[in-house]
Amino acid sequence: MLAKRIIPCLDVKDGRTVKGVNFVDLRDAGDPVELAYEYSQQGADELVFLDITATHEERKTTIDLVKAVARQVNIPFTIGGGINEIKDADILLNAGADKISINSAAVRNPDLINQMAAAFGAQFVVVAVDTRSIDGQHFVHLSGGRIRTELNTADWILEAQERGAGEILLTSMDHDGTKNGFDNGFLKTINDRIHIPLIASGGAGNQQHFVDVFQQANVDAALAASVFHYGEILIPDLKATLRQNGIVVR
Amino acid sequence: MPTICNCQVQKEYCKMIGIINYGAGNIFSLTAALDRVGLTYGMVNTADEIDQYDRIIIPGVGHAGAAMDKLQESGLVPYIKKLKKPVLGICVGMQLLTAFSEEGNAEMLKLFPLKTLHFDAEKSGKVPHMGWNSVSVPANSPLFAHIEDQTYFYFVHSYFIEFDATYTAAKCVYGHPFSAAISKDNFFGVQFHPEKSGKAGEQLLLNFSTIQID
């Protein structure tokens, strides 16, 4: 059976993790490589690094980070942030990234999805979508949910799939940070309409939320950051809970 | 991790595993995994270099038809086909060992009389088949030594090698059975990525490093 995936997400800036981490005795809690290794040992199925490094010059730090993670961590990982053209993705691929995630760049230039899928294969291309509901309608948002676009979220996801995305990472900005659970209703609506894997993001606060998103929306993977980083949910415990609820996990 | 090496030559010159370097995708993750488990390796760019190694890995990601074209351009095909030492194809590298792939409707190396087919989302599930899937591990298989039955391995692929009673060495089910691993004489292939499959994947790479062909 194909297992449902649990994915911790690490925000990285200039090669360092941004949000605090206090769940284990790490020598250096700001070191994303050490943190990634710890998660892999705990049973995380995959990792996502979101690079929020501001300037182009500092991107070299990110490349070094990707290489260090690929050397030391034996599970797949995705890197997102700052990828605007084929060249950016090519460098990350050769540094050992398994997938890249594109968000605003794909909205601004949808053909980028086609180009990336053609160059590297669909399996390499994750399209990340931030959505917010306005008067009952979901619209794609950019810049961490601050900028609204006129794109209908479901339409955009279907277009991304059509253009060659291998996976969708859908973050509900309405749920993100609330710890009130994933947006299971909307996730299910999207999941029922696409034929590529869907990663749910935004709203995880406790273990039951993961049970709910897998049972109600049947998504392929669930992503979270702070509940893992602050040790509120330990991955082995979460997997035990999921198993008890009949959800297939590794 | 100890360095496992059967070579009789000085250790620093010992390169046990030759990686066919034909330009199909990134091999950083593979070499990183070999480093983690302490296996020595080098790149095979020419026919002469094949002879320098005990065993050969054919990596590969991306498009099988395009990968086959690149392998043809490398000039290594006739040498690979007549190898008697252990050969492991990974992912698209495994698909190259088959007779034909629907990806690009391309003829492959024909080392196995098997076809590489596209997943039908109606019969299987979402395509690509992406993530950790359990594998029925054969008993007494040197490639899967010390790996438990139903161990999860990491897959990411849209094309699969059909299940075959003779050549399928390990079975995976995604809507229907397909070949997670194949073997025939000295040729082995795995559809999953051992370099990304946690401890089990690293064990499989170690196992491959000690396989002896009678």
Residues 162-221 of A with CB under 8 A from B: 166-167, 194-197, 220-221
| DSSP 8-state assignment for residue A124 | G
Q: Which residues from A are below 8 Å from B126, CB to CB?
A: 194-197, 220
- At residue B4 the predicted structure's pLDDT band, cuts being 50, 70 and 90, is very low
A192 catalytic residue (yes or no) = no
Structure tokens at B165: 């009673």
For residue A24, what pLDDT is reported? 57
Distance in angstroms (rounded) separating the CA atoms of residues A86 and B199? 32
Distance in angstroms (rounded) separating the CA atoms of residues A152 and A134? 11
Domains of chain B: 11-210 (3.40.50.880)
Q: Which residues from B are below 8 Å from A48, CB to CB?
A: none
The pLDDT of residue B62 is above 90 = no
**Distance in Å, alpha carbon of A135 to nearest chain B alpha carbon:** 31
The pLDDT of residue A145 is above 60 = yes
For residue A143, what pLDDT is reported? 81
User: Which residue in the list A11, A51, A183, A220 is annotated as catalytic?
Assistant: A11
For residue B8, what pLDDT is reported? 45
Distance in angstroms (rounded) separating the CA atoms of residues A114 and A134? 29
B91-138: per-residue pLDDT in tens? Answer: 999 999 999 999 999 999 999 999 999 999 889 999 999 999 999 998
Question: What chain B residue is nearest to A90 in terms of C-alpha separation?
Answer: B26
A74, A75, A194, A214: best to mutate for the B interface, most B CBs within 10 A: A74
A202-248: per-residue pLDDT in tens? Answer: 999 999 999 999 999 999 999 999 899 888 999 999 999 999 999 99
**Distance in Å, alpha carbon of A45 to nearest chain B alpha carbon:** 8
The pLDDT of residue A54 is above 70 = no
Contact A75 B198 (CB under 8 A): yes
| DSSP 8-state assignment for residue B3 | P
| A28, containing H or E segment | none
Distance in angstroms (rounded) separating the CA atoms of residues B134 and A76? 16
Distance in angstroms (rounded) separating the CA atoms of residues B124 and B127? 8
Structure tokens at A217: 């929306």
A6, A65, A123, A218: best to mutate for the B interface, most B CBs within 10 A: A123
Out of A24-33, A65-74, A104-113, B43-52, which region has the weakest mean confidence (pLDDT)? A24-33
For residue A186, what pLDDT is reported? 98
The pLDDT of residue A56 is above 80 = no
| Alpha-helical runs (H) found in A16-145 | 32-42, 59-72, 86-94, 104-108, 111-120
The pLDDT of residue B15 is above 70 = no
B119, B130, B192, B195: best to mutate for the A interface, most A CBs within 10 A: B130
- At residue A111 the predicted structure's pLDDT band, cuts being 50, 70 and 90, is very high
Instruction: Tell me if A1 sits within 8 A of B125, measured CB to CB.
Output: no
State the angle between helix axes of A59-72 and A86-94 in degrees (0 to 180), rounded to the nearest 10: 40
Contact B202 A93 (CB under 8 A): no
B156 CB within 8 Å of a chain A CB:
yes
Classify strands A47-51 and B106-107 as parallel, antiparallel or unpaired. Answer: unpaired
Cα dihedral value A142, A148, A153, A156, nearest 10: -60
Using DSSP, state whether B73 is helix, strand or coil. helix
- The mean pLDDT value of chain A amounts to 92
B196 CB within 8 Å of a chain A CB:
yes
Q: Residue A3: which of B62, B131, B202 has the nearest Cβ?
A: B131
Q: Which residues from A are below 8 Å from B134, CB to CB?
A: 1, 3
B21 CB within 8 Å of a chain A CB:
no
Overall average pLDDT of the A105-130 stretch = 94
**Distance in Å, alpha carbon of A104 to nearest chain B alpha carbon:** 24
Distance in angstroms (rounded) separating the CA atoms of residues B124 and A192? 15
Distance in angstroms (rounded) separating the CA atoms of residues A234 and A228? 6
Question: What chain B residue is nearest to A42 in terms of C-alpha separation?
Answer: B198
Overall average pLDDT of the B79-83 stretch = 97
- At residue A13 the predicted structure's pLDDT band, cuts being 50, 70 and 90, is confident
Overall average pLDDT of the A33-47 stretch = 95
User: Which residue in the list A45, A130, A176, A220 is annotated as catalytic?
Assistant: A130
For residue B10, what pLDDT is reported? 42
- At residue A55 the predicted structure's pLDDT band, cuts being 50, 70 and 90, is low
**Residue in this structure with the two tokens 């040498």, named with its chain if needed:** B79
Question: What chain B residue is nearest to A40 in terms of C-alpha separation?
Answer: B198
Out of A94-103, B15-24, B66-75, B118-127, which region has the weakest mean confidence (pLDDT)? B15-24
For residue A19, what pLDDT is reported? 66
Q: Residue B174: which of A2, A122, A194 has the nearest Cβ?
A: A2
For residue A21, what pLDDT is reported? 58
For residue A52, what pLDDT is reported? 82
**Distance in Å, alpha carbon of B206 to nearest chain A alpha carbon:** 14
Range picked from A22-36, A40-54, A97-111, B18-32 for highest mean pLDDT: A97-111
For residue A18, what pLDDT is reported? 80
The pLDDT of residue B16 is above 80 = yes
B6 CB within 8 Å of a chain A CB:
no
Contact B132 A167 (CB under 8 A): no
B197 CB within 8 Å of a chain A CB:
yes
Class of the CATH domain delimited by A5-244: alpha beta
**Residue in this structure with the two tokens 């007494």, named with its chain if needed:** B140
Tell me how far CA of residue A104 lies from CA of A49, A93, A142, A237, in angstroms: 16, 20, 6, 35
Q: Residue A2: which of B32, B125, B157 has the nearest Cβ?
A: B125
ipTM score: 0.93
For residue B11, what pLDDT is reported? 47
The pLDDT of residue B17 is above 70 = yes
Instruction: Tell me if A47 sits within 8 A of A199, measured CB to CB.
Output: no
Q: Which residues from B are below 8 Å from A75, CB to CB?
A: 154, 196, 198
What residues of B act catalytically? 91, 193, 195
Q: Where are the beta strands (DSSP E) in chain A?
A: 5-13, 16-17, 47-51, 77-80, 99-102, 125-134, 137-142, 147-152, 167-172, 198-201, 221-224
B129-162: per-residue pLDDT in tens? Answer: 999 999 999 888 999 999 999 999 999 999 999 9
For residue B68, what pLDDT is reported? 95
Structure tokens at A185: 């209703």
Task: For chain A, give every domain's residue range.
Answer: 5-244
B154 CB within 8 Å of a chain A CB:
yes
